[in-house]
């Protein structure tokens, strides 16, 4: 944890908080930040005490002001210094996408607390997170067309699913900056809060998850909703739903969930994400659905 230089990472009573921390650069994104965030999500998945995750930015000016256009190493911010003829080469992969794909694979619910400017990768990294809360001072921008590039970080997959194709296209075509209220109206964020209340609201939501739900059920639900909504036919979702309810209904968690409800007490779920995911997980790695 102490080796991180561009993020802060802490776990408090089951809630992990990742804070993007480049205060002199409005938390602008670099390769180092990408690697540190990926490492933090690796730690989150390996730690059964973590029940929910909050991602926010340092200070009150920016969540993340996009890619650092003047990186310290002097390299081109959008590409490696070498020409690559084979576009399937791993060196072509964009850093934002490596991060969002890692967040997508996470087994814990991820809440974004957007405390200020969020443009470029500062907004696209949020799309793989599950719930987004914004401060009244937050600003957003899919600015790629104004920089001569295109949306990255797998946002062409995430954004239309979150806000619909028409809204996604307008924001990406124009590349304009828009405020928190437009983000709320367009479906990008769940709620807007005074700046001084934002983190407390995110923590309240994280606590509701951490204190009341079965972690294995939440991990399964996260992947069922993200992945099954993209299936070509509901039958594929039905197959996974059926496997999941069959396995979960016979688990210690289900027994505890019913007992705690009937006894009117807080639950103490026994199953752990690290050891007790059902035998068909991860189902998307199967070559053929059975």
What number does CATH give the domain 214-289? Answer: 1.10.12.10
Mean pLDDT on 3-9: 95
> Tens digit of pLDDT for each residue in 276-285?
999 999 999 8
Topology classification of domain 7-210: 2-enoyl-CoA Hydratase; Chain A, domain 1 (3.90.226)
Range(s) within the chain of domains with CATH label 1.10.12.10: 214-289
Q: Which helix (H) or strand (E) holds 171?
A: helix 165-174
Separation CA 112–CA 128 (nearest Å)? 10
Mean pLDDT, to the nearest integer, of 43-58? 98
Tell me what pLDDT residue 69 has: 81
Mark 54-91 as b/e (b = at least 16 C-beta within 10 Å): bbbbbbeebbbbbbbeebeeeeebeeeeeeeeeeeeee
Which of 55-64, 89-98, 155-164, 232-241 is predicted least confidently?
A: 89-98
Does residue 152 register a pLDDT over 60? yes
Alpha carbon 167 to its chain's center = 20
Residue in 139, 140, 150 with CA at minimum distance from that of residue 173:
150
Is a pLDDT exceeding 50 seen at residue 289?
no
Residue 290's pLDDT band, with cuts at 50, 70 and 90, is very low
Q: Nearest to residue 229, comparing CAs of 169, 270, 284?
A: 284
**Where does the chain hold its CATH 3.90.226.10 domain(s)?**
7-210
* Residue 74 confidence (pLDDT) above 90: no
Q: Could you tell me the pTM of the whole model? A: 0.92
What is the dihedral sign for C-alpha 105, 54, 42, 214?
negative
> Which pLDDT score, from 0 to 100, does residue 29 have?
96
pLDDT in tens, 175-219: 999 999 999 999 999 999 999 999 999 999 999 999 999 999 999
Distance CA 192, CA 259 (A): 37
Q: How confident is the model at residue 70 (pLDDT cuts 50, 70, 90)?
A: confident
**For 244-261, how does the pLDDT look when each residue is reduced to its tens digit (9 = 90+)?**
999 999 999 999 999 999
pLDDT band, residue 20 (cuts 50/70/90): very high
* 72 confidence band (pLDDT: 50, 70, 90): low
User: pLDDT of 51-63, one tens digit each?
Assistant: 999 999 999 999 9
Please provide the average confidence, as pLDDT, over all residues in the chain.
92
The pLDDT value given to residue 80: 47
Q: How many CB atoms lie within 10 A of CB 143?
A: 20
């Amino acid at each position: 944890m102490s080796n991180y230089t561009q993020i802060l990472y802490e776990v408090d009573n089951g809630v992990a908080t990742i804070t993007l921390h480049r205060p002199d650069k409005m938390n602008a994104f670099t390769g180092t930040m990408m690697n540190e965030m990926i490492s933090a999500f690796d730690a989150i998945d390996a730690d059964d005490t973590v029940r929910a995750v909050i991602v926010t930015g340092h200070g009150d000016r920016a969540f993340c002001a996009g890619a650092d256009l003047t990186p310290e190493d002097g390299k081109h911010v959008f590409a490696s210094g070498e020409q690559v003829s084979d576009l399937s080469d791993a060196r072509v992969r964009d850093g934002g996408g490596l991060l969002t794909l890692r967040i997508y694979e996470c087994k814990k619910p991820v809440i974004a607390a957007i405390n200020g400017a969020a443009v470029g990768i500062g907004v696209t990294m949020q799309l793989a997170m599950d719930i987004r809360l914004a401060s009244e001072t937050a600003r957003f921008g899919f600015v790629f067309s104004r920089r001569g590039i295109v949306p990255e970080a797998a946002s062409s997959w995430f954004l239309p699913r979150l806000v619909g194709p028409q809204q996604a296209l307008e924001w990406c075509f124009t590349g304009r900056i828009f405020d928190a209220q437009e983000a709320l109206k367009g479906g990008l964020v769940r709620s807007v809060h005074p700046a001084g209340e934002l983190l407390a609201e995110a923590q309240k939501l994280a606590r509701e998850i951490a204190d009341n739900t079965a972690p294995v059920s939440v991990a399964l639900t996260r992947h069922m909703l993200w992945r099954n909504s993209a299936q070509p036919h509901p039958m594929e979702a039905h197959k996974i739903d059926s496997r999941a309810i069959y396995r979960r209904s016979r688990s210690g968690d289900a027994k505890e969930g019913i007992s705690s409800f009937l006894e009117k007490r807080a639950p103490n779920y026994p199953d752990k994400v690290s050891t007790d995911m059902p035998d068909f997980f991860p189902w998307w790695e199967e070559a053929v659905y059975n």
